[in-house]
Amino acid sequence: MKILFINTHYMHGGAGRAAGRLQKALNNRGVDAKQLVQNGFGDRHDNIIGPISPYEKLLALWKPALETLPLYLYKNRNGLPFSTSFQPDIILSKVKELNPDIIHLHWTCSGFVKIETLKKLNKPLVWTLHDSWAFTGGCHIPLDCERYKEKCGECPALGSMSDRDLSRWIWNRKSKAWRGLDLTLISPSNWLADCVRSSSLFRGKRVEVIPNGLDVGAMSCIDKKFARKMFSLDPDKKYILFGAVNATSDKNKGFHHVGTALRSVSKELAALGCELLVFGGYEPVGSSDFGLKTHYIGYLHDEMSMNLLYSAADVFVAPSLQENLPNTIMEAMACGVPAVAFSVGGISDLVDHKLNGYLAQPYNTDDLAQGLLWVLSNRPFWEQLSCAARETIKAKFDINHVADMYNDLYDKIVGNHSAQS
């Protein structure tokens, strides 16, 4: 059985890391799983197929910028990710050359896969949804908008007051192009699965819940003093960790909420000897004082460095506006670091309130601040939280178990497809 993953980025961003980890686990089981990407390359044994010719490399460079051009018609858009997927692509020729039994879609935007291409692939499709884009009129993070349940239009993400706006055009294209697809949808979280089932585009489609996973042997607890030494951090301080891809500039990740929460309890945190660590972004121009010493680590590009940084921390803070099943929380917990997060999206699939972390009321920064104090104030209880966080990931999110679930699904799909042929 040959599986072809299609994902825009290799091992970059949440979807890229989730897809890369799954592919590696499947390869380790002897499954012929290759990955077609627009950006990024793995080692030779990773079966990664990226742009080869100068033409393909030029497309990969320019497509993300071209993707955003229609958005300039909407001056009042909210700045959260929005994809049109209108550009021609070269996916079909690659698929014909590789001739997989199943195509496994992941995150396909930034101009990588045109909406209308999916109906031309003529293969059983599995699609793991890493955000909401597949069932909306273009937004990846709909927040409290539920227009996707009927028809998009008057899109709040675009700041549009017109029923016939860009989001309606994209929704209509999806509705027409995806009708009758041989498609199985995978949601990593129960929350997103409910959203998919209620959407007008996928209502009645097969939806399975299979979480993202990670290698709990590779991402594990490292001695805290050693980890801090690697980053020249004080072994006697307590460290609050915040981070994501574009952590300080991506509005959805809630860096502004971190500042508000920390300032409200800065004296209490300072008395506990706390400092802030930020990865995945640089210090914003004109950033304000949080009342705590702040270390901007920048971008880390390998899992060993991430493992060390997580292990150096005492708590991970995740004040995102909306999340599916965030890798950062999963990775922190695998390293024995409890998370304090807003109870939004699929985060409750990971964090059990006051058992392995703390779930704050959405967008209530006072509650977020109290969660940080609750985790950091009692060291003996912190040890229990740390162990519970690690055990949760081992029990529910081990990549080997996740790979087995996908392997069983592939077998059933191929079997059903053969029976119908």
What's 224-396's CATH class? alpha beta
Name the band, by pLDDT with cuts 50, 70 and 90, for residue 288: confident
User: Which pLDDT belongs to residue 227?
Assistant: 97
Taking residues 248-277, what's their average pLDDT? 95
Name the band, by pLDDT with cuts 50, 70 and 90, for residue 45: low
Name the band, by pLDDT with cuts 50, 70 and 90, for residue 243: very high
pLDDT surpassing 70 at residue 175? yes
CB atoms within 10 A of CB 150: 10
Among the residue ranges 39-43, 105-109, 289-293, 414-418, the one predicted with the least confidence is 39-43
Contacts of 78 (CB under 8 A, 6+ apart): 156, 157, 159, 251
Name the band, by pLDDT with cuts 50, 70 and 90, for residue 59: confident
- What's the predicted TM-score (pTM) here? 0.94
User: Which pLDDT belongs to residue 421?
Assistant: 61
Name the band, by pLDDT with cuts 50, 70 and 90, for residue 56: confident
How do the residues of the chain divide into helix, strand and coil, expressed in percent and rounded to 5? 45, 15, 40
On the CB side of 312, how many CA atoms lie within 13 Å of its CA?
28
CATH number of 2-213+399-420: 3.40.50.2000
Distance CA 319, CA 159 (A): 24
List the domain boundaries for the chain.
2-213+399-420, 224-396
User: Which pLDDT belongs to residue 389?
Assistant: 98
Percent of the chain with pLDDT over 90: 88
Contacts of 96 (CB under 8 A, 6+ apart): none
pLDDT surpassing 60 at residue 129? yes
Residue 80 in contact with residue 141, Cβ under 8 Å? Answer: yes
Distance CA 181, CA 115 (A): 12
Residue 180 in contact with residue 120, Cβ under 8 Å? Answer: no
* Intrachain domains 2-213+399-420 and 224-396 with the same fold: yes
User: Which pLDDT belongs to residue 416?
Assistant: 80
Pairing of strands 32-39, 48-49: parallel
Please give the structure tokens belonging to residue 65: 């910028």
Taking residues 316-337, what's their average pLDDT? 97
User: Which pLDDT belongs to residue 354?
Assistant: 96
Taking residues 198-202, what's their average pLDDT? 97
User: Which pLDDT belongs to residue 408?
Assistant: 96
Please give the structure tokens belonging to residue 345: 């999206």
Taking residues 265-290, what's their average pLDDT? 91
User: Which pLDDT belongs to residue 374?
Assistant: 97
Q: Average pLDDT over the chain, rounded to whole?
A: 94
pLDDT tens digits, one per residue of 346-394: 999 999 999 999 999 999 999 999 999 999 998 889 999 999 999 999 9
Name the band, by pLDDT with cuts 50, 70 and 90, for residue 52: confident
Distance CA 155, CA 167 (A): 6
